[in-house]
Structure 1
């Protein structure tokens, strides 16, 4: 198996649960980033709140940057889980 191979997520119940957990985290990060950008945009309408808006834009950007990191972490974990399962199968035979 290779990274980003769709078969990695369905090898077992455990890989399916790991995939689902990472997908949930990815979605929560997406919502967090979107909320930061929306609130930050609203704050930019008020001169006194522009600094807070800038901070929310920075936080939103960091959250968006975390998304590909989460996906890569998920894929590495699934790949490792698949290799361990393959080794276990070879040992049994």
Structure 2
């Protein structure tokens, strides 16, 4: 099984469930990052809330960093439940 192959989620029911669960987490992280950036931007309108806005930007940036991390973890877990014999042969 190749990592990030578009057909991977359809390999089995377990792969479909895993893929769906990670998609939910990915979407939640995406919404969280967007909300943090919007609120942080609004807080930059007043000098007294600039520090809070900066903190929200940092947390939003961490959320954006989580997105590729979630994708990689998902793919590695899918590889683990996939055809491991085939993976071992390709590694040689």
TM-score (norm 1): 0.88
Deviation at 1:80, TM superposition (A): 1.1
> How many pairs does the alignment contain?
86
Mark the runs of 5 or more structure 1 residues left unpaired by the alignment. Answer: 88-93
1:80 alignment counterpart? 80
Answer 1 or 2: which has greater helix percent: 1
Q: Say what the alpha-carbon RMSD is for the aligned residues.
A: 1.3
Deviation at 1:44, TM superposition (A): 0.2
Distance 2:6 2:47 in 1: 48
Distance 2:83 2:9 in 1: 13
Mark the runs of 5 or more structure 2 residues left unpaired by the alignment. Answer: 87-92
TM-score (norm 2): 0.88
Moved over 4 A (4+): none
